Amino acid sequence: MKFGTKTIHAGQKADPTTGAIMTPIYQTSTYIQNKPGDHKGYEYSRTANPTRTALENNLAALENGKFGLCFGSGLAAVDSIIKLLSPGDEVISTNDLYGGTYRIFTKVFEGLGIKFHFTGMDNIDKISSLVNENTKMVWAETPTNPMLNIIDIQALSNISKENNLILVVDNTFATPYLQTPLDLGADIVMHSLTKYMGGHSDVVMGAAICNDEKLAEKLYFLQNSCGAVPGPQDSFLVLRGIKTLHVRMQRHCENGKIIAEFLQKNPKVNNVYWPGFENHTNHDIAKKQMNDYGGMISFDIVGNKLEDAVTVVSNTHFFTLAESLGGVESLIGHPASMTHAAIPKEERERTGVVDSLIRLSVGIEDVDDLVSDLKQAIDKV
Ligand SMILES: *Cc1c(COP(=O)(O)O)cnc(C)c1O
């Protein structure tokens, strides 16, 4: 099955009792047992629920993995993945990381005895120098948020395998339409399904996908033991959203390219960060590991004044000022005061998140409307 067919069919069959084409919302907590232990594979909905199972199998198929697990949010997926570790263990992570992931690493898990090293992952030697006998995991996000750096997943996988480390890739920004990290040697793919996968800004959910049976068993144990599972209604919504993932992503990429090029030509715009540009620092890696370049773009304003960024983000009409990304509608954000406010100023500026940086999640509206919307807002600076 090819990708666009998988989005619609993988993991799902017509309901055996009624023939319903869409997987029903199995709004039930428990399941009948004829004799103790004699059931149809479902005992209790924290452990498993048929609507969730369909989504989990669909996700596994899209990521070319064997096992898919859903969680109540992207951060609940992060939580369970880090719980594979024990106190004293160390993790090497991307430095320009999603703010919430940075927060759970440093404010929750550091307190429980896990140590995190944050580094730019463009230089593999830097990663090697951080590995010691306690290192157990490498955590990467690519493209990174909000700087749109691209990390070489294959190179990370090589160094992870050499040192027996679990490589986790947060694939939220790319989605399996653009890249499949398991094929490049990652051990676990993590998602915030809240973003492109759900795609309609109407649900919060997360996932982990892997190929290794032992790793999957541990994750299932954590999913069931910690209990941060999504309900059947939300699972249905994400399943439905994924049916158009390939069509939406194609348009996100087309619109993204046009807007990135418009920004690059605008005299009030300083840097434009979009991996599709040939002069983007990591364009070669993007070209090698991604099918296209996506609809996430960041840029800063000439003069780097915070108030200029505020002027732009407060004056767009189709780009809505809001947290989050990946929905059908275009969003605009100011990382320094919104998504990345939890990261100390020196640390955020070191990674490029300057005061005037603006992040766009380009939606799938008519691109002419989006371009003129941005133009009139930037003209106000
Ligand atoms: C949103 C996001 C998360 C967290 O997911 P939630 O569903 O909001 O809990 C993690 N990583 C990335 C890259 C994200 O964009």
Best residue for ligand 1 mutational test, from 70, 78, 79, 98 (most atoms within 8 Å of Cβ): 98
Q: What is the mean pLDDT of residues 10-33?
A: 94
- For the stretch 172-202, pLDDT in tens is 999 999 999 999 999 999 999 999 999 999 9
pLDDT reported for residue 285:
97
Q: What is the mean pLDDT of residues 325-334?
A: 96
pTM for this entry = 0.96
Domain segments of the chain: what residues?
Answer: 3-242, 246-379
Q: What is the mean pLDDT of residues 146-151?
A: 94
pLDDT reported for residue 16:
86
314 SS3 class: helix
44 strand-pairing partners: 30
Q: Do domains 3-242 and 246-379 have the same CATH topology?
A: no
Say yes or no to pLDDT of 342 above 80.
Answer: no
Report which of 361, 4, 362, 365 is spatially closest to residue 177, judged by C-alpha positions. 4
Q: Which residue is closest in CA terms to ligand 1's atom 2?
A: 192
Ligand 1 centroid, distance to 119 Cα (angstroms): 20
Give the class (CATH, top level) of 3-242: alpha beta
Q: Is 3 left (phi over 0), alpha (psi -120 to 50) or beta?
A: alpha
Ligand 1 centroid, distance to 379 Cα (angstroms): 32
pLDDT reported for residue 25:
97
Best residue for ligand 1 mutational test, from 95, 188, 192, 359 (most atoms within 8 Å of Cβ): 192
For the Cβ of 171 lying below 6 angstroms from any atom of ligand 1, the answer is no
pLDDT reported for residue 356:
96
Question: Of residues 234 and 351, which shows the higher confidence score?
Answer: 234
pLDDT reported for residue 265:
98
Q: Which residue is closest in CA terms to ligand 1's atom 5?
A: 74
**CATH of range 246-379; options 3.40.50.1970, 3.30.70.2610, 3.90.1150.10, 3.30.870.10:** 3.90.1150.10
Dist CA 320 CA 230 (whole Å): 27
- For the stretch 219-251, pLDDT in tens is 999 999 999 999 999 999 999 999 999 999 999
Under 8 Å between Cβ of 162 and 124:
no
Q: What is the mean pLDDT of residues 43-67?
A: 98
End-to-end CA distance of the chain: 50
pLDDT reported for residue 348:
81
Q: Which residue is closest in CA terms to ligand 1's atom 4?
A: 74
**Per-residue tokens: 63:** 């990521």
Buried b (16+ CB within 10 A) or exposed e, 66-88: ebbbbbbbbbbbbbbbbbbbeee
The atom of ligand 1 lying closest to the CA of 75 is 9
**Model confidence band, residue 338 (pLDDT cutoffs 50, 70, 90):** confident
Under 8 Å between Cβ of 219 and 187:
no
Strands 358-361 and 67-71: unpaired
Ligand 1 centroid, distance to 350 Cα (angstroms): 22
pLDDT mean across residues, the chain: 96
Q: What is the mean pLDDT of residues 284-295?
A: 98
Q: Would you please indicate which residues are annotated as catalytic (active-site) residues? A: 46, 98, 170, 195
Q: What is the mean pLDDT of residues 238-265?
A: 98
**Model confidence band, residue 351 (pLDDT cutoffs 50, 70, 90):** confident
- For the stretch 94-120, pLDDT in tens is 988 888 999 999 999 999 999 999 998
Strands 166-170 and 67-71: unpaired
Ligand 1 centroid, distance to 81 Cα (angstroms): 14
Say yes or no to pLDDT of 343 above 80.
Answer: no
**Model confidence band, residue 1 (pLDDT cutoffs 50, 70, 90):** very high
For the Cβ of 204 lying below 6 angstroms from any atom of ligand 1, the answer is yes
Say yes or no to pLDDT of 145 above 90.
Answer: no
